[in-house]
Amino acid sequence: MKISCLPVSLFDEICGGKMSVEQWAREAKAIGFDGFDISSMFIRNHTPSYLRPLKEAVAETGMPIAMMTTYPDFTHPDPVQRRREYDYLVRDIAVASQLGVEHVRVLAGQAHPEMGIEEGVALAVHGLRRAAEAADAYGVRLVYEDHAKPGAWDYIDFSYPPELFLRIAQGIRDTSVGINYDTGNITAAGEDTLAVLEQVIDRVATVHVSDMAEKGTFRPVAIGTGVVPNREIFARLKQHGFDGWLCIEECSGQGLAGIAQAYRFVRDAWERA
């Protein structure tokens, strides 16, 4: 088992250019992480003059990029925009391949008010299946998440309700797409996270470790201080033989101090589980 981190608490600094990707890698290494995560929003462009030195700078840190999070909106009601969303994701996959990223986190799409349940499920499955073919060609593993809402979107994730997440997960079961299981989002949706985990545990490739202030409300808190049963989740994953990445999604707003605290909690909780 290896631990990395998606530094949501540092998004403004990194996206705003106050902290570079390689600086984030060095900070993660100093804390003790085995790798680090990035968002596609961290990548300024896909030109050789930008990506080549970025790849070299990251390589010098000795830290692998465990995951890149992306934000495809396969449930957009406009078919032209859905084609754009697919093309945007393929570019992200290509960039991830060039940078040596191990996993690319993908989503179903937004819960657009005019999108019906059956059509939305079908569109999400279709988009993810197409994306899997592109990722296979580039040698990148896609991981689909039980997601809530990124800052990049206007609406919550179409598959935020666990029953929709499970339906879409079933629809891509025969593809190479794994599951990025977020420990907090099911709790935030008001459901039993261990019960949902059990239905996809054989396909979990990566884990987003998060925590919520209370059940039924999406309000992230410092990991280890909320109500998400992360210790119990870790115990079940260990029992099942999970040895992939635990990717901390650190959203406490406490910067590097919060990230370091989350690392210590996760490392200790996994060892004790």
Q: What is the pLDDT of residues 182-212, one digit of tens each?
A: 999 999 999 999 999 999 999 999 999 999 9
pLDDT above 70 coverage of the chain, percent: 100
Sheet containing strand 65-69, edge to edge, reads 2-6, 245-249, 204-209, 178-182, 141-145, 103-106, 65-69, 36-39
Q: What angle do CA 236, 149, 255 make, to 5 degrees?
A: 80
pLDDT (0 to 100) of residue 151: 84
Under CATH, what is the fold of the domain 2-272?
TIM Barrel (3.20.20)
Q: Tell me the domain boundaries of the chain.
A: 2-272
Per-residue pLDDT for 221 more than 90? yes
Whether this prediction's pTM lies above 0.85 is answered by yes
Closest CA to 106 of 125, 80, 122, 79: 125
| Six token digits for residue 13 | 């600094």
- The pLDDT confidence band at residue 253, using thresholds 50, 70 and 90, is confident
Per-residue pLDDT for 150 more than 90? no
What is the tens place of the pLDDT at every residue in 67-80? 999 999 999 999 99
pLDDT (0 to 100) of residue 126: 98
